[in-house]
Amino acid sequence: MLLNKLQTANEILNNLITLTKKDIESIKEAKHEEIFNNIKIKENLTIKFQNTKNEIDNILSNRNKPLEEIFTPEEEKEFENFKNLLNEFNNQHKLFSKLSFSVTNFYNTLLNKIKGNKQITYEKENISNSQLKIKA
């Protein structure tokens, strides 16, 4: 039972890692629509992962054994894989977050330069009075 849950968790983590790597490449290529399309998929995978992790926690807490005896050799191998995948996902997600923040910061800085000191409201406004000049 535990082995099956660990394998499921690892499969979910692999999917999250794959999507996050795709999102990193998409953000580098300014393919923002692809990133937005992956949001719901990643949210669903995250919910599945949380549920599976809770099931793993329940199985482990119901085993009344010393820590050294809690896993079978197969479970221990799969748990090591789980830890490695979780670490890889964490690293990939950090990179994606940094890139996302950089893009957001770039666009906000650009908008501030265009609009001057006026507050940015993201509403439709006529920017003819801004510092932006169009040359033909």
Whether residue 135 is contained in a domain is answered as no
* Residue 69, pLDDT score: 86
Per the structure, the count of domains in the chain is 1
Whether residue 14 is contained in a domain is answered as yes
* Residue 113, pLDDT score: 81
Q: How far apart are the first and last CA of the chain?
A: 69
Q: What percent of the chain has pLDDT over 70?
A: 85
Q: Which of 62, 85, 74 is nearest to 3 (CA)?
A: 74
Tell me the pLDDT tens digit for each residue of 6-38: 999 999 999 999 999 999 999 999 898 999 999
What contacts 59, CB < 8 A, 6 or more positions away?
Answer: 1, 2, 5
Tell me the pLDDT tens digit for each residue of 68-100: 889 999 999 999 999 999 999 999 999 999 998
Whether residue 11 is contained in a domain is answered as yes
Give the pLDDT mean for 41-66: 94
Q: Is the pLDDT of residue 132 over 80?
A: no
Whether residue 134 is contained in a domain is answered as no
* Residue 64, pLDDT score: 84
Domain hosting 38: range is 2-115
Whether residue 85 is contained in a domain is answered as yes
Whether residue 109 is contained in a domain is answered as yes
Q: Is the pLDDT of residue 117 over 90?
A: no
Whether residue 122 is contained in a domain is answered as no
CA-to-CA separations, 11 to 40, 80, 111, in angstroms, rounded: 18, 14, 41
Whether residue 124 is contained in a domain is answered as no
Q: Is the pLDDT of residue 41 over 70?
A: yes
What contacts 28, CB < 8 A, 6 or more positions away?
Answer: 99
